Structure 1
Amino acid sequence: MSNRTLQQRRTDATPRGIGVMCPFFIERARNAELWDTDGNRYIDFAGGIGVLNTGHLHPKIQAAVSAQLESFSHTCFQVVPYESYIRVAEELNRLTPGDFPKKTAFFTTGAEAVENAVKIARAATGRAGVIAFGGAFHGRTMMGMALTGKVAPYKTGFGPFPGEVYHAPFPNPLRDITVDDAIGAVEKLFKYDVDPKRIAAIIFEPVQGEGGFYSAPPQFVVALRRICDEHGILLIADEVQAGFGRTGKLFAMEHYSVHADLITLAKSLAGGFPLSAVTGRAEWMDAPQPGGLGGTYAGNPLALAAAAAVIDLMQSDNLPARAERLGHQIKERLVALRQRVPAIADVRGPGGMVAVEFSHPGGREPDAEFARAVQAKALADGLILLTCGSDGNVIRFLFPLTIEDAVFEEALGKLETAILHTMNGVQHD
């Protein structure tokens, strides 16, 4: 069936609130490439929004899921448990940063992981308040939206949101927000808005995803840890997008000298299958009463089979190191291009979690139109890109860490062409 026919059916059958970026429909995919229903080929630098660090249909993941499907597909772990849940939990307990006893609970989506991390923190501390940061994205559920530090499009028209959620600015050198500014804002919350003894958790992204791929500076994370220790607050690291090799480490928190009490995981955890997790200090994870955590599909056996294969691939193929190498290549290319393209304001990101930010030349005013034009030209040339950032002026790169070198180089050529084409169009206007 043609893309045009499917587009009309989509419009007729699904609500406009489900925004769709691509005007075509996928028919098949393999690693970093996909083909639409009209036979057109695309290189995928979106990865289902960071879900496919191991690429589309990796043979080892496909085989693991197929083998599980021969045995059983679902029982609900809370009803009839299965060994794979325990085995993958043990692996996450072992691999996540922090030399202390840990436990893991599985869920289905990143938003569920975040919601349950808040539940665990509240049960552990007997407190209700949570501090999050501007530019953060923590999900589309009611608590997820409350924690998210961006109104449009995520919060518009959906309030009121759960109470006792507070926001402070996230460090951002391009917006003149220093670490001292951000930490000072947290301390001012304690002075003007809420007693720290009412705060259960501080949640942050080691690298903001939707917020624009801004990394949390080491001194900022150390200061958050100090504040949490001082006031008996749990520190939650949201690694839903930054985890599983993307930053050049298996987990982004490995870049820091301090540890989080709880880590939320999802997206590339299961290579395209719906699975999320909360891993944390055993004493805090045990705070909720039996029955307080779980979900009908939480820790689905097929998704767990995929996750076990993903964890094995991350280690056997050293994918974090490959993320570092590929990220270096794309940053090197963009930094060189910056000399010719005044609109490039910044190139940043650890490992393969790379972004380019566009601003109006001669100033620091965000240029979302330039970013959208680059994205559109790249798509027309067969490269799928995602924008992000509070102002929509950032393009992020979520290529599979398994991408073939030749395909990666082809994609970089398409990216460079799109940026130069957009610059020339702006100059001619």
Structure 2
Amino acid sequence: MADALKILVVEDEPGQRELIVAMLAEAGHSLSAAGSVEEAIVAIKADMPDLVFSDWKLGQLSGMDLLNYVKREHPDLGFIIATAYGTISHAVDAVQAGADDYLTKPYQRQTLLLAINKVARAQALKRQNRELSSALSEQRALVGLVGKAPCMQQVFERLRRISATDATVLIGGESGTGKELAARALHQLSARQHGPFVAINCGAIPESLAEAELFGAEKGAFTGANSLKLGKLEAANGGTVFLDEIGELPLLQQTKLLRFLQEGVITRLGAQQEMTLDVRVIAATHRNLQQEVAEGRFREDLFYRLNVVPIRMPPLRERREDIGRLIEHFLKLHARQYGFDAPVLDKSTLKQLLDYAWPGNVRELSNRIERFVLLGDEEELRAETRPGAVAVKGGMQLPEEGLDWDAFERQCLAQAMARFEGNRTKAAKWLGMSYKAFLYRLEKHALV
């Protein structure tokens, strides 16, 4: 039997009403009663029940009138309706209007109790689903994944479906779209949430040290190895490892990573014995790995091992309806971070931010809002998000009023990144800059 419920019985015949109340009270439920729709509405307002059991015929009004009120004002309230023998059409109408169940008179005590228990279980399941959805929303907010756009809802749904598994995930998308946030969301929503989350940028590891960084090294394995070095995969044992910019991983380490994904074992550099690890692997890249495979820079077998569940993080230009929500989120987030009151943006500034292209995606938006929260300089924020100067055929045409060089340089960098979908090597080459100089300027303008 279901746990004790607060049940409102609505029946206009006093004898029948008392009988139903007695049966349900004997089963351990808490009862209240009403003889009309009007009395029932007053009772619901005075003390909200868990469930309403109502007869169809209730004087001037009907159980259907009460059902319509309940579903309009209290859509989560359970409702069972009793109809007379031969009036199955009434029952059908009631179910279509939102009734959770119906009984046809005359009915037995056991039939009534079964219907009550069935609806109680359904209500409990609905509450459970709402709580899970609420928890998921809280987790999204915790890791900064904010968005109502359809493309983001697809991302959330995919994260929800695979979070409880150990499936390997490959997250794609331009720089600044939130690939690491998605990885952290997967970790926090999984059974591994209390285990380690270890993030490593594969593009930032010198090739000569890549093996030791990932797989560890014994003391004396190479010059300078004065003690045992724990690799990132071993450090993530029992949790999740996030391999950012996986497309930058050298081919030799790609081979060793493939073996780990296939067998679940690693061998430290300089060691003879294999070690079994329990690690979920999430990888991310801004590159087109299929193209990298075709051009011989990435192993095809590793690509398919990583690409078990692909997730694409959409750029802001594909979810412009989320920009306002993100601005509000980052204003509150950074104000709380620094112990400030959340500032309010002027309407004209807000409109400019909503119209801005945000080539650096969510990361750029967060950085700009963080600086605004710290400095309170709205004019600087507006200057940074004005459209920059543009190149014209035959040379560069400068505006008569002069040029904001920092804003112009930033626009050039952002447009180069957008042109090559976040490929820094190609963007640097297109601008005629060395890779290191290009990276320095990306960091200077908060585009990384």
TM-score relative to the length of structure 1: 0.27
Greater C-alpha Rg = 2
Question: Which of 1 and 2 has higher RCO (CA within 8 Å, sep 6+)?
Answer: 1
Q: Which has the higher helix share?
A: 2
